[in-house]
Structure 1
Amino acid sequence: MGTNTPARIAAILVGLEGLALVALAVWQIVAIVQGDTGSIESALALLVLTAVGASALLAFAVAVFRGRSWGRSGGIVFQVLILAVALGATTGAYAHPLMALAIAVPAIAALVLLILAARDAGRAKGEASESS
């Protein structure tokens, strides 16, 4: 594996998560237009939050691909939040363990790859400072 490989794969996974949120936002728009919501105010607020999350994830994916540390940091935070959602999907009256697994597996993979990318970036920075 090349030194940029974990970062590139992590960028792809984070980007796919962002695209999944875009798809969710489109689904929410369809539900709003069709009147399939209990509260239009709550539906609009959820749509805005989903769009913000999608934008953030897509920005983090681009930043990770370009080797920016803020993208890795933001991506790591989002993976932890996604894992919290997955944990929530395993409990309660509407628990759905398979859905939780489907949410958690890509988040764990992305988290591991982001940590490896951060480690590689730290090593590369250390090597660059030693040679100057």
Structure 2
Amino acid sequence: MIVVVVVLIVDILTLPAASLASAIALTVIVAIGAVFVSAVAIGALRRQSWVRGGALIWQLVQIAIAIGAFQGTFAQPAIGWALIAPSVLVIVLLFTSSVMAALARPQA
């Protein structure tokens, strides 16, 4: 996601945009997503319990994007499969007993 933010910033600075406001808004939204994914990754490394919810939300967002990649005039099924396959795998893994135990809240 951070790479996508950098690419979008470079595009804004080097290419003429049909709508500069839309380009900036998209870049800001992707930057917010990058911060969210980074926070979930850091939380996972620290084995914090809230990570499962954040990871699940991100996987659902990826599935929604993947479904969009299968449809429309500019459909890219390869991108859709590349997004949906790991998302489904991660969702399944999030509910395995080993992951749930690793990310469980410590008992007082």
TM range (shorter): 0.7 to 0.9
CA distance, structure 1, for counterparts of residue 41 and residue 10 of structure 2: 26
| Residue ranges of structure 1 left out of the alignment (5+ in a row) | 1-20
Match of 2:67 in 1: 87
Number of corresponding residues: 107
TM superposition shift of 1:106: 2.2
- After superposition, the C-alpha distances for 1:36-59 in whole angstroms (9 at most, x for unaligned) are 321110111111110110010010
Q: Which amino acid aligns with 1:33?
A: L
The Cα RMSD (Å) is 2.1
TM superposition shift of 1:119: 2.8
Match of 1:32 in 2: 12
The yes-or-no answer on 1:119 pairing with 2:100 is: yes
CA distance, structure 1, for counterparts of residue 70 and residue 16 of structure 2: 26
Which of 35, 40, 43 aligns to 1:63? It is 43
The answer to whether the 8 Å contact 1:63/1:72 transfers is no
Match of 1:108 in 2: 88
The answer to whether the 8 Å contact 1:32/1:43 transfers is yes
| Residue ranges of structure 2 left out of the alignment (5+ in a row) | none
TM-score (norm 2): 0.85
TM superposition shift of 1:121: 4.3
State which drifts further: 85-94 or 30-39.
30-39
Aligned-residue identity in percent: 33
Q: Secondary structure at the match of 1:69?
A: coil
CA distance, structure 2, for counterparts of residue 78 and residue 26 of structure 1: 20
* Over 3 Å off, 4+ runs: none
CA distance, structure 1, for counterparts of residue 90 and residue 38 of structure 2: 14
- After superposition, the C-alpha distances for 1:15-68 in whole angstroms (9 at most, x for unaligned) are xxxxxx111111101110013321110111111110110010010011122121
Select the structure that is richer in helix: 1
